[in-house]
Each structure stands twice: as structure tokens, then as C-alpha cells.
Amino acid sequence: MRAFVSAFEAEAAPLIDLFELRLSADRPFRLYRNETTALVISGMGKLSSAAATSYLLASLLPSDTEIFNFGLCGAKTHPIGSLWQIRKVIDRCSGAVYHLPAPLLAQQASITCEETPRRDAKGLKSDLIDMESSGFLLAARHFLAPSRIHLLKVVSDHLDPEPPTAQRCKSLIAPHLPFLKELI
């Protein structure tokens, strides 16, 4: 089985359509499923991501699951719209650094997980930035082997103050859907 955790409906919508998922639960998180795939929408932040990931893995999925944190992120310089596999997660709050095995993509990057949106790259020790990656990773590690845990991020901005609209999210993710379907 494959599973996805995305922070927002706009990030998840292309995957919901791609895998023909149906809403199966509305609480405590929005959960979409079919026979081979599940997707949960966590909401913003690492605590929400950890809670949604735990909910998904504890109550719904077998231990042979491959899980993906899929969504948008900011970047210092990486091209907007580019897809990256995360191999290193830095939790800015705790200072912890986590490494992931099992490369799926040629394009690999590091990511810093922040507590609040960041608007500049000063002192940033990674290529990319988000607010969910470390919560997702810490929760998933309680249930699955590291080789079954993956983070895939699409660059949405260069630390711009305005979050992307739902339509912009979809337009950034859409070019990667055929590749994702083949990869996964």
C-alpha cells in the first residue's frame, strides 16, 4: 500500500484526482482512500503533520506501506516548480538532523523544518524549507523502516511573503503527476 501526507487540500487535490481517491473520513483528519492508496490532509505545522501521520499509520495501514510526505516548499535558489527528494531534514527548533536512505530521484536536497513561515534565507542551512517535514518523519519512523519513508517536495517560491493560491499549487504539481504515477 502507498500513503501520502499533505498539509493542504490544494497540495493533495492533484493526487486525489490522479489516484481516484474517495473521502472516507472527515475527522480527526480528512482521509481519502482506494484499495491501494491512502492520503491524509494534516494541516500546517510539524505537530499536525506528526498527528496525521500517526493516525494514518496506526489505524489504517499495513506495515509494508510506503509513505510519502508530498507538498510544496520554499527554496533559496532552486527553480520554482522543480521536484526534489529530501535526503536530510533539519529541525530548526530542536537542532536535530535526520538522514533518509532509499533515493528515488536524481534531484535530492536538504530541508529545514521551521515553526513559522520564513521570509529570508539568512542562516538557512539547507536547500529548501517547510513546516511539516520533521513531524512527518518522526511519526513515520515509529511505524516503518526508514527505507519506506519518503519526502517529495515541489518548490513553490523563493521565500515569498504570500502563500501560493490553490490554482498555483495545482499548476506547480501538475507537471510532476505522470512521473509520480510511474515512480510510485
Assign residue 26 the CATH number of its domain: 3.40.50.1580
Q: Name the phi and psi angles at 34, rounded to 5.
A: -145, -160
**Distance between CA 35 and CA 168 in Å, rounded?**
30
Task: Classify 141 as helix, strand or coil.
Answer: helix
- All residues at 6 or more sequence positions from 4 whose CB lies less than 8 Å from its CB, including other chains: 12, 15, 37, 38, 39, 40, 67, 68, 69, 70
Tens digits of residue pLDDT in 122-171: 888 899 999 999 999 999 999 999 999 999 999 999 998 788 899 999 99
**Distance between CA 16 and CA 32 in Å, rounded?**
7
Tens digits of residue pLDDT in 50-83: 999 999 999 877 778 999 999 999 998 999 999 9
DSSP 175: G
User: The pTM is what?
Assistant: 0.94
**Distance between CA 176 and CA 142 in Å, rounded?**
29
Overall domain count for the chain:
1
Q: How confident is the model at residue 24 (pLDDT cuts 50, 70, 90)?
A: very high
- Full domain range(s) for residue 153: 2-183
